[in-house]
Structure 1
């Protein structure tokens, strides 16, 4: 991120001058000249990306349009099937390699090329930059999607190029006082994604050559329909549908001993706070990719903020220590003020570190909660329940598709800026507390005075709220509040009348609390798109939640396991029936050919029988027939002789008919 790199470059001279500094993690990040420049790398990458895309397109065939042209090539290739769950980790790792680029886009709006023109054209330049970024990474995703040896080869080559660029630019510093271990920790998640692609894609390339993968399984590929049904049962959708027909297991018995109760409570608390796994559920490729890039983005931003602000505090502390050494030029009051500033600087450093780690922890836990929320909402949508989301009937199909397209980009942007805003709010809150603690001797009289003014109001409000609750339960409702039926109606009317005037004053304080709660909860749930920050009737005005609803409805409609299994069964039955029909037609054709052959034999035998009967009863016709047959035989022999005259051996100029017959038979 450029703004953090600029701040880091400010401390370069300080790091060079102060050789005795105790801060051993100084790194001149901004002063590093990139081994592979960002803009040049993105532009030059377009050439191999375009060539690879064309090769991948010609390696696939069109499915339904103009198949007679070039044998159906080139085909239309796409980077990722967002509706399937295959190659989830490869896609997640590929998106994880985009984390640093996404941070530059979210926080710095970094372009793919240098631009110094008018400001009003920057939006157009940003659109062109996004197209360049997408085209540069397109072959990596498309190669994984194609799944052929050529696809894996292209994906492998591009992953190696991106890995080389990552290591060259991540570990290049003109001056390095930071240990490589600390630097590796900062980029470890993204580095693991690069290493995963670097080693897994070549292995898949070799396996695809040794054993080509079948992209589709049709009914004709199976010996019987049972084989096809067995493949459906083993799929994720089949397992989910089979699970629906099973009776759910009974709930476990409640724990009895104190130790068992404590273990049960800890397990439930861990599942509620962090993450609870559901056996058999598989997250989609898209949600895994978004979670991966969001987590890596949080890690990198946290690491960079830690580096820049830690150096800022070191720089400020160095200046104050330098002034403190010059005691001859300071008065007693100045030294006290200087000591106070040193103490305040130490407190602010603690506030910064605490706020940064708390914001990071909150967002990481929110990512885990987000996965749980996605799973629960998707399973409810499979059952036709959408109470938490905007119903499909209130949105058009086009708006749902638009929301699905917007979702991934919105989620990454919300995670980045939500984390930054949470960090600023936590930092402000902690600085206020640290200031109060530091300046307690100065402002304690003012604070105690305000507390003496406000504590009667707070105590009275608390007592009256408790009193209203107790009276409502035991005096104004029947059966101690178990049913909503009024009791002591006259006392209720009197109490309500007098509480009206007091609740006006309570309402002012309640209004302030409502504003504070809205700010806190709005900032807290800003990175999460599965919860709207607006009231239920105004949820459609929340663009993030609207995009999430569109994504969930499209996901549910196109990946519902019950619908997918039902369609698979229909397709299996249709293809099996087609196969059975083809066999039946083949049997009919063979049977007809056999019957025709038998009929021909019968006709020939009948004709021979009639001929023999005629010749036996007519000897003259038999004699004439012999003469005709002999004449035809002689003519045939002559034709054979003249057409193969070079093959016969003639000893005299006069041809002997018998010799000709013998040699013709020999030929």
Structure 2
């Protein structure tokens, strides 16, 4: 007996010590000041390798403000930024589910803002190095800081891997893959920069994909053939789908997945993967719990009673229904998530097409915002789109789980005889009136077309067929039908009212993840904050990323720069305009002209013998006594 007690205590104490050590290490890693201090130091060092435009003459334009991520930059570093976002999920999961909120209820929002700021601060150097203009130093600093983060978080996971919790590595594996990808990317960039195969990144006004888009606009449009057979239509549709897939993946395409889209999809997919792993793990825990309950009921002396046997049977049926319903809800919710992501991408692309062409017919007339509000809501769009996709996924999962249980207990199990027949009563009450309602409607449609419409044919609304004109015939019979059906449709109206609510709820559930569709009815779109955020995103994209405008401005600046440099006035000018990154600074042109005139005048006053050679300053001509 003493030996057994010693074995139990020797097993429990190391487990408790390991748990305490894990908590201490996790607190030091995620809540300590070590990583934030390293991040602040790394950010200060990176800033000295960036140039600023404000007062660029002081200290050679250094330090400058690093650029962590540019959502308006199209596809530059899109995969790398998405991988960096994948590295942040370990911290986000810890702050969301592990950190205890110990502040006052009034300060919870401020505390959550502080946690989100802490995550952004810790990973700020990684994003800044990915988008740094200095290729060599950005690669070195990014490699060292990412290596530090990987070592710290990997060590924390090794210490916190307790017996029975090895499945936690499945969650951390995705973060580790993202970290290894970034380490390889930084090493590759440094090697190519050393061997002069890659130049420092320069901020350019226009990108190749935008130039390619404008060139395609200048081509003659393809002729469209109206009549096509079924085989040609199928081939054209398949070709269009293939072309869209290429547009999503090719770098030279303007409609490739942008940085914003790829970051949103990466976060959503990784969270979906986390939920899938947790579902598998806790599904096993639930199976063990139900098995223990069944073994307890069957092991008691009352197990021979009919009540206990029925209870054991119902628990077994419930476990089977729960397992199947949970699998279906996960599968269908995953399909729902992927379909919505594809539809959001296509809708966003079509709306950008339209707004670039000046078509605003899809924007409601009452959705007008000032420019300050647009900029604020554009900041919200990326985060709100992620939260709406995840919220729609979780809500759809719960709704599908509930529907599966309703179908199982109200239809399938009663028909199989696994539950009492009284469970089938709601179906017997609801289904026959619905079937009778549809039969009545079909009969009335037939009677209306046969007896209540005159034999005068007009073109249908689609213009492809003929139909009877909307002119009543047999009016007295029609009025009698209207009288007798009036009382019937009062009763049926309750079913139609319920059907209308369910239809609206189903459509709202499907569109809840999409910010490009308003969830409110026409005239009240302004109260849908998500939809207004999407419209602000479109407006900011229009004003800052319109390819035709950017290409035109780039051509004008390059032409002006060539003319200004090649002109004879520029060759004898005392000051030249600043040309940097193929951009010319014309902001101080007038000031430079005034300064040049003043210097010329001062020179002529001091050297009057040169006045006779001046063509403009005749007032200072030298006149001998």
TM-score, structure 1 as length reference: 0.71
Instruction: Name the counterpart of 2:280.
Output: 306
Query: Aligned-pair distance for 1:40?
Result: 3.8
The answer for unaligned runs of 5 or more in structure 1 is 1-12, 18-28, 219-230, 588-667
Picking from 187, 203, 210, the partner of 1:237 is 210
The 1-side partners of 2:567 and 2:367 are apart by 43
Query: Aligned-pair distance for 1:505?
Result: 2.9
For each residue in 1:166-188, what CA deviation from the matched residue of structure 2 results, as whole angstroms up to 9, or x when unmatched?
A: 4334455544457x7x7665555
Q: 1:400 to 1:103 in 2, by over 3 A?
A: farther
The answer to whether the aligner puts 1:140 opposite 2:126 as a matched pair is yes
Are the counterparts in 2 of residues 255 and 264 from structure 1 also a CA contact under 8 Å?
no
Instruction: Name the counterpart of 2:616.
Output: none
Are the counterparts in 1 of residues 69 and 131 from structure 2 also a CA contact under 8 Å?
yes
Are the counterparts in 2 of residues 143 and 151 from structure 1 also a CA contact under 8 Å?
yes
The 2-side partners of 1:420 and 1:271 are apart by 31
Picking from 38, 46, 59, the partner of 1:48 is 38
The 1-side partners of 2:107 and 2:168 are apart by 38
The 1-side partners of 2:19 and 2:497 are apart by 47
Instruction: Name the counterpart of 1:317.
Output: 291
Q: 1:40 to 1:459 in 2, by over 3 A?
A: closer
Secondary structure of residue in 1 paired with 2:567: helix
Query: Aligned-pair distance for 1:411?
Result: 1.8
The answer to whether the aligner puts 1:152 opposite 2:142 as a matched pair is no
Picking from 118, 139, 148, the partner of 1:161 is 148
Query: Aligned-pair distance for 1:554?
Result: 0.9
Instruction: Name the counterpart of 1:289.
Output: 263
Are the counterparts in 2 of residues 100 and 297 from structure 1 also a CA contact under 8 Å?
no
Picking from 67, 70, 89, the partner of 1:81 is 70
Secondary structure of residue in 2 paired with 1:540: helix
For each residue in 1:572-605, what CA deviation from the matched residue of structure 2 results, as whole angstroms up to 9, or x when unmatched?
A: 2111211222587469xxxxxxxxxxxxxxxxxx
The 1-side partners of 2:521 and 2:19 are apart by 44
Query: Aligned-pair distance for 1:506?
Result: 3.0
Picking from 484, 495, 500, the partner of 1:514 is 500
For each residue in 1:600-649, what CA deviation from the matched residue of structure 2 results, as whole angstroms up to 9, or x when unmatched?
A: xxxxxxxxxxxxxxxxxxxxxxxxxxxxxxxxxxxxxxxxxxxxxxxxxx
Secondary structure of residue in 1 paired with 2:22: coil
For each residue in 1:10-69, what CA deviation from the matched residue of structure 2 results, as whole angstroms up to 9, or x when unmatched?
A: xxx9xx99xxxxxxxxxxx99992684155445211112111111222212221x32332
Are the counterparts in 1 of residues 146 and 183 from structure 2 also a CA contact under 8 Å?
yes
Query: Aligned-pair distance for 1:480?
Result: 6.0
The answer to whether the aligner puts 1:548 opposite 2:522 as a matched pair is no
Matches within 5 A, 1:355-394: 355-390=329-364, 394=368
Picking from 515, 519, 539, the partner of 1:533 is 519
Query: Aligned-pair distance for 1:444?
Result: 5.7
Are the counterparts in 1 of residues 381 and 533 from structure 2 also a CA contact under 8 Å?
yes
Q: 1:371 to 1:312 in 2, by over 3 A?
A: same
CA RMSD of aligned residues (A): 3.8
Picking from 395, 407, 413, the partner of 2:387 is 413
The 1-side partners of 2:505 and 2:19 are apart by 35
Are the counterparts in 1 of residues 413 and 419 from structure 2 also a CA contact under 8 Å?
no
Are the counterparts in 1 of residues 78 and 262 from structure 2 also a CA contact under 8 Å?
yes
Picking from 194, 200, 204, the partner of 2:189 is 204
Are the counterparts in 2 of residues 103 and 416 from structure 1 also a CA contact under 8 Å?
no
Query: Aligned-pair distance for 1:353?
Result: 2.0
The answer to whether the aligner puts 1:193 opposite 2:166 as a matched pair is no
Are the counterparts in 2 of residues 46 and 132 from structure 1 also a CA contact under 8 Å?
yes
The 2-side partners of 1:30 and 1:545 are apart by 46
Higher RCO by CA contacts (8 Å cutoff, separation 6 or greater): 1
Instruction: Name the counterpart of 2:440.
Output: 464
Aligned residues: 539
Q: 1:456 to 1:325 in 2, by over 3 A?
A: closer
